């Protein structure tokens, strides 16, 4: 690497994990089968994949919580597990188990203590963080966490992940289980962190959220990386139009369409070929076009297509 290139925040080479299970630990579950990826400074990176793909495993290895079976990884230029590096990262776990009888204030003070943050700093930072994630200060000082809703707990979790003012933040399914308002708020928080220049790595299977937030995504399936890149690179740019109308369609117009559906006089479908050629065909016929809209392939469609290709062995 040359000196004018900033070093990657995270680099993972051929990472492998095989869990041993069963009473005699004689069964093996291969969860990561040689994953290579990198995350650059200031990037919001989304690791996508269905349940059991290995997303949490990868995150836990990078954070030094789970031991890898093979491969290498570096976080902030250091081998994973380095103590000094841990002080610069924040982590929102997938299933955050909180201390039920503590208030949010007590919990955040406790977490700040683990980072050896002085009391004076915490007294300033905790109210700032509570405000930031949208939690009421008076409630945070009095209500035990067991009385919090899932959405409120997720916000406490986010405040906890930011207590040490980290440069790099790992979020494992930050939107899961949240209602639309909760998801919207979480998205706003992540976008605000991104605007501050933080590097964010997050796991998700909620594609719409990833699509709106991430600069780059990777798709993990059964422990293997299927693809990675920016959304602009991954989503094909070929233009597709959704068309809808009524009246007798000429055969030449039909041949330009896919997914043609006809119900009596009405028809709809997708236009693959030349839009102008289709319009010319209609012009010379009795058919009337009601709607023609540009259709972008969503990340969701792309994701499903990738996984289906893999499952069908192609
Ligand atoms: N502690 C463990 N012991 C044995 N197997 C495990 C363990 N943790 C995970 N696995 C297995 O490893 C695979 C990957 O699990 P992982 O939790 O990393 O997936 P994930 O992509 O995070 O899934 P989800 O979307 O459900 O959170 C699964 O087959 C899972 O059953
Ligand atoms: Mg997971």
Q: Which ligand is nearest to the CA of 52?
A: 1
- Domain containing 286 equals 240-296
For 87-110, what is the mean pLDDT?
89
Ligand 1 atom closest to Cα of 223? Answer: 14
The reply to whether 219 and 176 lie within a common domain is yes
The reply to whether 200 and 247 lie within a common domain is no
Please tell me the predicted confidence (pLDDT) of residue 2.
45
Ligand 1 atom closest to Cα of 203? Answer: 22
Is the confidence at residue 15, as pLDDT, over 60? yes
pLDDT digits (tens, 9 = 90+) for 215-254: 999 999 999 998 888 887 877 666 678 899 999 999 988 9
The reply to whether 29 and 69 lie within a common domain is yes
The reply to whether 216 and 254 lie within a common domain is no
The reply to whether 14 and 65 lie within a common domain is yes
The reply to whether 253 and 128 lie within a common domain is no
Handedness of CA 71, 77, 81, 86 (dihedral sign): negative
Please tell me the predicted confidence (pLDDT) of residue 293.
87
- Whether the full predicted model's pTM is greater than 0.85, yes or no, is no
Q: Is residue 68 part of a domain?
A: yes
Q: Is residue 280 part of a domain?
A: yes
Measured from the CB, is residue 55 less than 6 Å from ligand 1? yes
Q: Is residue 64 part of a domain?
A: yes
Please tell me the predicted confidence (pLDDT) of residue 274.
78
Ligand 1 atom closest to Cα of 49? Answer: 21
Please tell me the predicted confidence (pLDDT) of residue 66.
93
The reply to whether 183 and 261 lie within a common domain is no
The reply to whether 250 and 104 lie within a common domain is no
For 22-43, what is the mean pLDDT?
90
Measured from the CB, is residue 204 less than 6 Å from ligand 1? no
CB of 113 closer than 8 Å to CB of 106: no
- CA 70/CA 57 separation, integer angstroms: 13
Between the CA of 139 and the centroid of ligand 1 the distance, in Å, is 35
- The CATH number that applies at residue 121 is 3.40.50.300
The reply to whether 17 and 111 lie within a common domain is yes
Please tell me the predicted confidence (pLDDT) of residue 192.
92
- CA 262/CA 269 separation, integer angstroms: 9
Burial of 294 (0-12, 13-18, 19+ CB in 10 A): exposed
Q: Is residue 156 part of a domain?
A: yes
- The protein residue whose alpha carbon is closest to atom 18 in ligand 1 is 54
The reply to whether 244 and 203 lie within a common domain is no
The reply to whether 153 and 244 lie within a common domain is no
Measured from the CB, is residue 52 less than 6 Å from ligand 1? yes
pLDDT digits (tens, 9 = 90+) for 136-181: 999 999 999 999 988 889 899 999 999 999 999 999 999 887 888 8
- For all residues of the chain together, what is the average pLDDT? 88
Q: Is residue 257 part of a domain?
A: yes
The reply to whether 229 and 245 lie within a common domain is no
Q: Is residue 164 part of a domain?
A: yes
Instruction: Spell out which residues have Cβ within 5 A of ligand 2, the ion.
Output: 55-56, 94
């Amino acid at each position: 690497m040359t000196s004018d290139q900033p070093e990657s925040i995270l680099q993972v080479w051929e990472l492998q994990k095989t869990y041993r299970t069963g009473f005699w630990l004689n069964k093996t579950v291969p969860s990561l089968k040689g994953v290579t990826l990198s995350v650059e400074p200031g990037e919001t990176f989304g690791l996508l994949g269905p349940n059991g793909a290995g997303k949490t495993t990868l995150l836990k290895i990078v954070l030094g919580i789970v031991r890898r079976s093979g491969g290498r990884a570096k976080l902030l230029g250091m081998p994973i597990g380095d103590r000094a590096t841990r002080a610069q990262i924040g982590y929102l776990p997938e299933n955050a188990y909180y201390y039920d009888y503590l208030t949010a204030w007590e919990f955040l003070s406790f977490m700040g203590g683990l980072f050896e943050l002085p009391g004076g700093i915490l007294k300033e930072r905790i109210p700032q963080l509570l405000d930031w994630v949208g939690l009421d200060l008076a409630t945070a000082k009095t209500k035990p966490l067991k009385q919090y809703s899932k959405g409120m707990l997720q916000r406490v979790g986010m405040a906890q992940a930011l207590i040490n003012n980290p440069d790099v933040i790992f979020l494992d399914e930050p939107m899961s289980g949240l209602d639309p308002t909760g998801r919207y708020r979480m998205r706003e928080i992540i976008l605000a962190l991104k605007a501050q220049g933080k590097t964010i790595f997050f796991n998700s299977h909620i594609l719409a959220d990833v699509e709106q937030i991430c600069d780059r995504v990777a798709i993990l399936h059964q422990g293997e990386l299927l693809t990675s890149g920016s959304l602009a690179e991954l989503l094909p740019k070929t233009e597709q139009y959704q068309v809808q109308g009524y009246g007798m369609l000429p055969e030449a117009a039909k041949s330009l369409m896919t997914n043609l559906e006809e119900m009596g006089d009405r028809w709809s479908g997708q236009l693959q070929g030349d839009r102008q050629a289709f319009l010319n065909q209609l012009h010379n016929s009795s058919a009337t076009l009601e709607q023609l809209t540009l259709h972008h392939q969503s990340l969701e469609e792309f994701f499903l297509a990738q996984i289906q290709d893999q499952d069908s062995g192609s």
